Amino acid sequence: MTTQLDCSLGFGLESAYGVPATPQQFPEFISESLAWNPEFVQGEGLRVGSRTPRTARRALGKEMSGGDIEIEATTKGLGVFLHAIFGDTTSAQVDAGPATQQVHTLTKTALPSYTIQKGVPLIGGGAIQPHTFHGAVVESSEFSAAQGEIVKLTTTWNAREIVTDTAYVPTVYPADMELFTFVHGSINIGGTVTPPTSTALAVGGTPAANITEFSLSVGNGIDEGGFTFGSAGKRGRRPEVGLVEATGSMVAEYDSNMLRDAFLNQEALQIVLTFEAGAEISTGVRSTLQIFLSSVKLDGQLPASNGGEPITQSVDFTSLDGLLAGVEPIYAVYRSTDTSF
């Protein structure tokens, strides 16, 4: 017997675009909108005695699938999403213990593709029905963290096709999984930062004690082509990556002029956002999620009165490539006991 709570998602990394893979990772999720998104064409030929478009003249012109997945950032199983977003990933043991560090940076070649299977139970306790998406690639993503909240990640996927004849793969969830929350967070803005290495976190910068909210959106700029003769209306090749658009925002209490002056002077800032959670997984090492932006310019705003309430600034920013030798524009670092992503 099932209930409507028994929805699931499973992910398998494909060996090549659109080649089905068996799901191996099963994240808990808040919501999903994965769907079939076809484009139909309707014949317009005139016919004596008919004033309406005809059933026989409606046909499938183009086939796409995809949608959004929203999850909470956890101390296990997050690597599959980070690898899907960024594309370039290294993984190394931090020390002799079980702690493994993944470093994710923006790919300069192609994004990985996944098979995603979502299971949806029938009303009345019926069996879980599999809906399997092949060739799923991340179009865009958004990290968000706010005071008193759990860190969340939303990914938008573009998939080649959906099939319903693949057998359902039962879920296997990681044990002892914890959440990253606002309580575990710290942020450094400005100053000098040493980028992360394969086993070390980014360090340095100036601690900022006035930030209450932070979000970062990363768009991969994938193209809309690849629908060619012989591909049966589906995308015939892996989406090509384009110019990355990385933007975000911060809400800061107005207790200094640092952000104001950086905006007015268009100063390039470095930002390090770090979350550490749980007990040590090896000596001196905790589960960690870290985002490092190596060159950020602020898009606004100046402080304004707030009706007698404490004054805050909603500061938008754009993450850019500072062309610093050996330094990537964006890093996502993930420490956990996961040995794969």
Condensed to tens digits (0 to 9), the pLDDT of residues 280-294 reads 898 889 999 999 999
Tokens standing for residue 237? 């090749």
Q: How many CB atoms lie within 10 A of CB 261?
A: 11
Q: What pLDDT sits at residue 258?
A: 93
**C-beta pairs of 189-193 under 8 Å, 24+ apart in sequence:** 189/258, 189/259, 189/269, 189/270, 189/271, 190/258, 190/262, 190/267, 190/269, 190/270, 191/270, 192/270, 193/270, 193/272, 193/292, 193/294
Task: Map tokens 């060619």 to a residue.
Answer: 228
Sign of the CA dihedral with 143 first, then 66, 90, and 293 last: negative
Per-residue pLDDT tens digits for 116-152: 999 999 999 999 999 999 999 999 999 999 999 999 9
pTM: 0.95
Nearest to 302 by CA among 230, 252, 267, 268: 252
Number of H helices, E strands in the chain: 2, 21
Angle 235-237-240 from CA coordinates, rounded to 5°: 105
Residue ranges in the chain whose pLDDT is less than 70: none
Question: E strands within 126-244?
Answer: 128-146, 152-159, 161-163, 185-189, 193-194, 203-204, 211-219
β-pair partners for 299: none
Q: What pLDDT sits at residue 45?
A: 95
**Identity at 223, one-letter amino acid code:** D
Q: What pLDDT sits at residue 279?
A: 82
Nearest to 141 by CA among 87, 84, 182: 84
Q: Report the SS3 class of residue 323.
A: coil
Which residues have a Cβ under 8 Å from the Cβ of 180 and sit 6 or more positions away? 73, 74, 75, 150, 151, 275, 277, 287, 289
Q: What pLDDT sits at residue 260?
A: 94
Count the residues in the chain: 341
Q: What pLDDT sits at residue 283?
A: 87
Nearest to 302 by CA among 335, 244, 241, 261: 261
